[in-house]
Structure 1
Amino acid sequence: MAEATLPARGPVQRRLDELVAENRFVIAVVFPAVGAVTLLASAEGLLPEPLAFNPYFLLVGIAVMRLPLVAGVAPLVTRRVAAGVAVLCAYTYAIEAVGVRTGWPYGRFEYGVDLGPMVADIPAALPLFFLPLVGNAYLLGLLLLGDAADRAAVRLPAVVLAVVGMDLVLDPAAVSLGFWTYAAGGAYYGVPLSNYAGWLLSATVAVVILDAAFDRAALLARLETCRFALDDLVSFVLLWGGVNAYFGNWAATALALAYGYGLWRADRFDFPSR
């Protein structure tokens, strides 16, 4: 693979890097810990209105936890990447719209918690929830696969499975909290297995689009110099692993810890170092 040269960073990008690097522990550990406690307190009826499941607190918290991923890939955003992300956003809304109306491909479900402004019965912030799952899985895959990532036949299926694995962590926690429910329930902590068949489809499409949009060599070069790029995945492990543990979803908790182990193998637990 040809060696990539990272584009020059402007003052805004440098300041964003500094902001994230200087606050890594707060962003990646404190925010998800507070989020987990707040969500559990909301589910148990311990928080009064309007604090319980406040959608704007939720969206702000998620946006803050996404900052490391955004800052990590920002220098690599070209017109091609921007177009790919736009296609991914459109795809996210489209497949969710189909799912809400038909039950395909995830199974029939309905939202039980206010997730912020809705557009045609779909959360407007949906890409904020979905795209980082794909992005984090892709970055972690590149780091763990090493030279094997050069082969699309290895790289793409591995990342797709990593995305599906992240939903195996996320969905049981969300169902336990009441974020959404499946009409017929399900064998996996209230989640039907058909949901994961749907995720295989949606993750495959999303990963292929992301893989085509980004310059892989440039991503790897950025990961070499950007220690915090996967901190959003640290937040994911702490937040959703903690929620699953509270509700006794032990298989989902173990899988969350497996992602933590992957981060450790990728040498991404180095707080508060830059």
Structure 2
Amino acid sequence: MDNPNTDATDHEQRNVSERRGAVQRRLEEIIRENRFTIAVVFPVIGAVTLVASAEGWLPEPLAYNPLLILFGTMVMRSPLIVGLLPRIGWWALGCLGVLTAYTYAIEMIGVRTDWPYGAFEYTIQLGPMLFGEVPIALPLFFIPLVLNAYLLTLLVFGDWSERLLVRVPVAIVAVVAIDVVLDPAAVAIGFWAFDSGGFYGVPLSNYGGWVISGTVAVALVDLAFDRKALLERVRECEFVLDDLVSFVLLWGSINVLYGNWLAAAVAGLFCLGLFSTDRYDREMVLTALPWSNQEASTVENS
């Protein structure tokens, strides 16, 4: 005889799975309908408001407003988060939890001891601060950068990325390269400041620190996911790297505005990497424009 309790459990699990699937499809629909706004409009507005804040052109309530910074960051991160949700099980969640704890720990050590990044301090509050020293939202700022570097490595290197000694070192280099773009721009607009710096206000020791933190972070990300399943998801989800597009637009443009030409050139290399994935071209841009979705809806309803 069939066990009624087993049947009830199976039925409940199917219902949960169906609900999760429906939520996932709706989230993906929202991202697709707003790709241009998320990946282009938000970083452009972000660059304008951050530069205006740094130059004293915005009134006090708006200048470096932490709620606006956090909201904008969450919106720009949304394609990456939604894209990866189907591949985040309990194991991946645990590894990312360890990475979150490590992110807080290494930053706290950096602020208190000047190691491994060099002597620096936050010059504005990026939202609530943990122990008054590091932003509580720090994982939201850091972990997606590592994920973007890792996913871009998988896509660009294709079959070569199956080799551990290829994908991990390359992803680490990509993480450090992301910081080469980020830190000079962040220093220029006053997010944080180093006591000394030779590369647009950033000491070379900072990048040595990023090699350390990037190595641990990439190792945990590599451990977190079933690589083949992850790569399959990345290949089928056309918007999963849109967060990297936002990053390049936001921080690359700030570097250009402040004359950080080498940092801007590295941002350009990320553009080439994105173009090489064959998912960012003229047709994609036209498809992502807001009015293209309206036209498609009109055709479907007619």
> Under TM normalisation by the shorter chain, which class is it?
over 0.9
Alignment of 1:80 with 2:91, yes or no, is: yes
Aligned to 2:204: 193
Aligned to 1:65: 76
Displacement of 1:148 after TM fit?
0.5
Write the distance in 2 (CA, Å) between the matches of 1:101 and 1:273: 48
Write the distance in 1 (CA, Å) between the matches of 2:143 and 2:92: 13
Alignment of 1:151 with 2:177, yes or no, is: no
Write the distance in 1 (CA, Å) between the matches of 2:91 and 2:200: 40
CA RMSD of aligned residues (A): 1.2
**What is the 5 A alignment of 1:39-188?**
39-120=50-131, 121-183=133-195, 185-188=196-199
Aligned to 1:215: 226
Write the distance in 2 (CA, Å) between the matches of 1:36 and 1:159: 26
- Unaligned 5+ residue runs, structure 2? 1-16, 289-302
Write the distance in 1 (CA, Å) between the matches of 2:44 and 2:224: 33
Write the distance in 2 (CA, Å) between the matches of 1:71 and 1:24: 12
Write the distance in 2 (CA, Å) between the matches of 1:181 and 1:40: 16
Aligned to 1:271: 285
Write the distance in 1 (CA, Å) between the matches of 2:90 and 2:201: 41
Alignment of 1:250 with 2:261, yes or no, is: yes
Write the distance in 1 (CA, Å) between the matches of 2:193 and 2:89: 38
TM-score, L = length of structure 1: 0.95
Aligned to 1:33: 44
Write the distance in 1 (CA, Å) between the matches of 2:217 and 2:251: 22
Displacement of 1:272 after TM fit?
4.8
Contact 1:24 1:272 in 2 (8 A): no
SS of the residue corresponding to residue 273 of structure 1 reads helix
Contact 1:68 1:228 in 2 (8 A): yes
Aligned to 2:8: none
Q: Deviations over 1:231-274 (max 9, x none)?
A: 00000010000000000000000110110110000123123537
Highest CA radius of gyration, 1 or 2?
2
Write the distance in 1 (CA, Å) between the matches of 2:83 and 2:214: 22
Change (3 A) 1:272 1:72: farther
Write the distance in 1 (CA, Å) between the matches of 2:141 and 2:262: 22
Number of aligned residue pairs: give it: 267
